[in-house]
Chain A
Amino acid sequence: MASYSSRVRGDAARWVERGFIDQKAAQAIVADAEAHDRRSLSFGSILAIMAALLFGAAILIFVAANWEAFPRLGRVGMLFAIIFGGYVGGAGLKLADHAAIGEALWLIAAAAFGGSIALISQMYHLSGDEAQAILIWCAGTTLAAAALRSGPLTMAAVALSAAWLFLVGVSFWRNEDFPHLFMVLAFVVWLLSYWTRSAGARHLLLLSLVLYAALLAAETEVMHVAPVLAAVSAILFGLAVFLPEDTERIARIDGLLPVHGLIGFLTGMVMLQIDIGDDFAAGFAIAAAITLAGIVAAVVFGGRDSRGLRWIAYTGFAFELCLIYAVMIQGMLGTAGFFLAAGTILGVLAIAIIRIEKRMAAPASASGVVS
Chain B
Amino acid sequence: MTGKKLVLAAIALALVQIGFLSWIVAGRAAVLRDGREVLLKVEPVDPRDLLRGDYVVLNYEISAVPVSIVSNAPVGEFTSQDGPIFVRLGKDEDGYWRARSATLGAPAGIPAEGEVDIRGEVRPGWSSGPDGTYNVSYGINRYYVPEGEGSEIETNMRDRPFSILAAVGPDGQAQIKALMDGETRLYAEPLY
Q: Does A175 sit within 8 A of B, measured CB to CB?
A: yes
What's the nearest-Cβ distance from chain A to residue B105, in Å?
17
Binds B, one of A27-35, A113-121, A251-259: A113-121
Cα(A128)–Cα(B144), bound, Å:
13
Task: Please name all residues of chain A whose beta carbon is closer than 8 Å to the beta carbon of B123 when the two chains form the complex.
Answer: 175
The answer to whether A88 and B82 touch (CB under 8 A), given A95-B3, A125-B176, A147-B9, is no
Asked whether any CB of chain B lies closer than 8 Å to the CB of A212, the reply is no
CB distance from B83 to the nearest CB of A (A): 11
Nearest A-chain residue to B138, judged by Cβ: A127
* Contacts A149-B1, A175-B123; A143 near B13 (Cβ below 8 A): yes
Q: Does B145 contact A (CB under 8 A)?
A: yes
Q: Are B24 and A120 in contact (CB under 8 A)?
A: yes
- Enumerate chain A residues within 8 angstroms of B76, measured Cβ to Cβ: none
B10 interface hit (Cβ, 8 Å) = yes
Assess the B143–A175 pair: CB atoms within 8 A. no
Task: Check A127 against B6 for contact (C-beta < 8 Å).
Answer: no
Report whether A84 and B20 are in contact in the complex, using a CB–CB cutoff of 8 Å.
Answer: no
Segment touching B, from A46-54, A64-72, A238-246 = A64-72
The answer, among B1, B53, B141, B189, for a CB contact under 8 Å with A127, is B141
Any B CB within 8 A of the CB of A92? yes
**Given the complex of chains A and B, what is the CA–CA distance between A307 and B11 in angstroms?**
44
Q: How far is the CB of A93 from chain B (nearest CB, A)?
A: 11
B15 shortest CB reach to chain A, Å:
8
Q: Does A109 contact B (CB under 8 A)?
A: yes
Is B11 in contact with A66, judged by CB distance below 8 angstroms?
no
Distance A175 CA – B175 CA, assembled complex (angstroms): 22
Residue A200 interfacial (CB < 8 Å): no
Tell which of B10, B16, B147 touches A90, judged by Cβ atoms closer than 8 Å.
B10
Does residue B36 face the partner (Cβ distance < 8 Å to A)? Answer: no
Of residues 120 through 149 on chain B, the ones whose CB sits less than 8 Å from some CB of chain A are: 123-124, 137, 139-147
A177 closest partner in B (C-beta): B82
Interchain CB contact (< 8 A) of A64 among B3, B54, B143, B190: B54
Is the CB–CB distance between A92 and B147 below 8 Å? Answer: no
Given the complex of chains A and B, what is the CA–CA distance between A335 and B116 in angstroms?
70
**Is B186 an interface position by the 8 A CB rule?**
no
- Chain B residues contacting A143 (CB-CB under 8 Å) are 13, 16-17
Inter-subunit contact B176/A140 (CB<8 Å): no
Do A148 and B6 touch across chains, with their CB atoms under 8 A apart? yes
Task: Report whether A76 and B10 are in contact in the complex, using a CB–CB cutoff of 8 Å.
Answer: no
Chain B residues positioned under 8 Å from A66 (CB to CB):
54, 144-147
Chain B CB within 8 A of A43 CB: no
B112 at the interface (CB under 8 A from A): no
User: Judging by beta carbons under 8 Å apart, are A72 and B20 in contact?
Assistant: no
Chain B hits for A296, CB < 8 A:
none
A80 adjacent to B21 (CB under 8 Å): yes
Given A83-B18, A87-B14, check contact A148 B190 (CB 8 Å): no
Contacts of B176 in A (CB 8 A): 124-125
Q: Does A315 contact B (CB under 8 A)?
A: no
Interface string of A100-111 (1 = CB under 8 A from B): 000000000100
Smallest CB separation, B107 vs chain A (Å): 21
Q: Are A175 and B124 in contact (CB under 8 A)?
A: yes
Inter-chain contact B21/A124, CB cutoff 8 Å: no
Of B14, B53, B189, the residue contacting A84 (CB under 8 A) is B14
One of A87, A117, A122 near B10 (C-beta < 8 A):
A87
With A125-B140, A127-B137, A148-B9 as known contacts, state yes or no: A140 contacts B192, CB within 8 Å.
no
Q: Tell me which residues across on chain B come within 8 A of A80, comparing CB atoms.
A: 18, 21
Residue of A nearest to B139 (CB): A127
List, in ascending order, chain B residues with CB within 8 A of A176's CB: 82
CA distance A64 to B52 in the complex (A): 12
State whether the Cβ of A323 lies closer than 8 Å to any Cβ in chain B. no
Within 8 Å by CB of B147, from A67, A88, A109, A144, lies: A67
> In the assembled complex, which residues on chain B have CB atoms less than 8 Å from the CB atom of A73?
192
Q: How far is the CA of A113 from the CA of B20 in the complex (A)?
A: 10
Given A68-B146, A73-B192, A120-B24, residue A87 in contact with residue B140 (CB < 8 A): no
Contacts of A124 in B (CB 8 A): 28, 32, 175-176, 189
Chain A residues within 8 Å of B20, by CB:
140
Question: Which residues from chain A contact B124 at a C-beta distance below 8 Å?
Answer: 175
Complex: chain A residue closest to B9, CB-CB: A147
A67–B32 CA distance with the chains assembled, in angstroms:
22
Question: Shortest Cβ distance from B79 into chain A, in angstroms?
Answer: 13
The interface of chain A, by Cβ under 8 A from chain B, is 64-68, 72-73, 76, 80, 83-84, 86-88, 90-92, 94-95, 109, 113, 116-117, 120, 122-128, 140, 143-144, 147-149, 175-176
Report 21 cross-chain contacts, Cβ distance below 8 Å, ordered by A residue: A67-B146, A72-B192, A73-B192, A83-B18, A84-B11, A87-B11, A91-B10, A109-B14, A113-B21, A120-B25, A122-B144, A123-B28, A124-B28, A124-B175, A127-B141, A127-B142, A144-B17, A148-B6, A148-B9, A149-B1, A175-B124
